[in-house]
């Protein structure tokens, strides 16, 4: 999978391990310290030298983009993982995952180029995953037919724009929103 313009996950097993370790370390560091997290700290967490980080991600923005794309891939895989559940359960579980994703990635989202072809492609893939789950729930009669995937993703994105006292509050607000999507 191409993670950003020009950079691909390496083919050699050892280089792939380093690449994946850097993505995981960056995800953790950005979640803990925001987008200003030290690149040296990210390399240390990944167990590689700073040169390895720069070989894979020449700029900080390249690293932001790669973390973002990795998370989009995880969201799409999550849609596939829940597809075997009952239609409403699949939709609700995926939206819970989506809310968790947005809540932890807000800082990275501010740093990426949202007009890039890569980000537009990621958005398309995410909408496709949402559409599959929503359409299935609508066909089963458990989700309102007048709701589009665009409506749904905007609703969820809006829910995550503000902060919450704790995870329990965020879950309650999501439950209220999902009640509005559920067919009566």
Together in a domain, 39 and 104? no
Most confidently modeled range among 11-25, 67-81, 142-156: 142-156
- Per-residue confidence at 8, pLDDT binned at 50, 70, 90? low
Task: Name the residue among 53, 184, 65 with its Cα closest to residue 122.
Answer: 65
Residues 19 and 81 in one domain: no
CATH number for position 11: 1.10.10.60
What span, in angstroms and rounded, lies between the C-alpha atoms of 92 and 3?
A: 28
Place of tokens 């072809």: 117
Is the same domain home to 67 and 39?
no
Q: CA of 72: how far to CAs of 12, 31, 83, in Å?
A: 23, 16, 17
**Distance between CA 94 and CA 130 in Å, rounded?**
8
| pLDDT value, residue 42 | 97
Q: How many domains, in total, are found in the chain?
A: 2
Lowest-confidence region among 58-62, 68-72, 102-106 = 102-106
Q: Are 31 and 106 within one domain?
A: no
Which residue is listed with tokens 């993703």? Answer: 153
Mean pLDDT calculated for residue range 90-118: 78
pLDDT, mean of residues 36-49: 95
pTM: 0.76
Q: How far is CA 121 from the centre of its chain?
A: 13
Domain span holding position 145: 62-181
Q: Distance (Å, rounded) from C-alpha 16 to C-alpha 112?
A: 23
**The two structure tokens encoding residue 58:** 């020449």
Average pLDDT over residues 71-88: 93
Indicate if 29 and 44 belong to the same structural domain: yes
CA distance 160 to 176: 13
């Amino acid at each position: 999978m191409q993670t950003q313009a020009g950079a691909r996950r390496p083919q050699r097993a050892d280089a792939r391990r380093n690449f994946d370790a850097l993505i995981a370390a960056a995800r953790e560091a950005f979640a803990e310290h925001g987008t200003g997290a030290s690149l040296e700290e990210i390399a240390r967490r990944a167990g590689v030298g700073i040169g390895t980080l720069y070989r894979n991600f020449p700029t900080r923005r390249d690293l932001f983009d790669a973390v973002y794309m990795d998370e989009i891939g995880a969201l799409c895989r999550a849609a596939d993982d829940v597809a075997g559940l009952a239609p409403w359960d699949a939709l609700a579980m995926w939206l819970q995952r989506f809310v968790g994703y947005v809540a932890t990635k807000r800082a990275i989202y501010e740093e990426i180029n949202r007009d890039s072809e890569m980000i537009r492609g990621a958005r398309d893939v995410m909408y496709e995953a949402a559409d599959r789950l929503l359409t299935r729930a609508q066909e089963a009669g458990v989700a309102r037919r007048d709701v589009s995937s665009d409506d749904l993703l905007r609703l969820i994105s809006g829910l995550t724009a503000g902060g919450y006292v704790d995870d329990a509050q965020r879950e309650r607000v999501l439950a209220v929103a999902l009640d509005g999507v559920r067919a009566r």
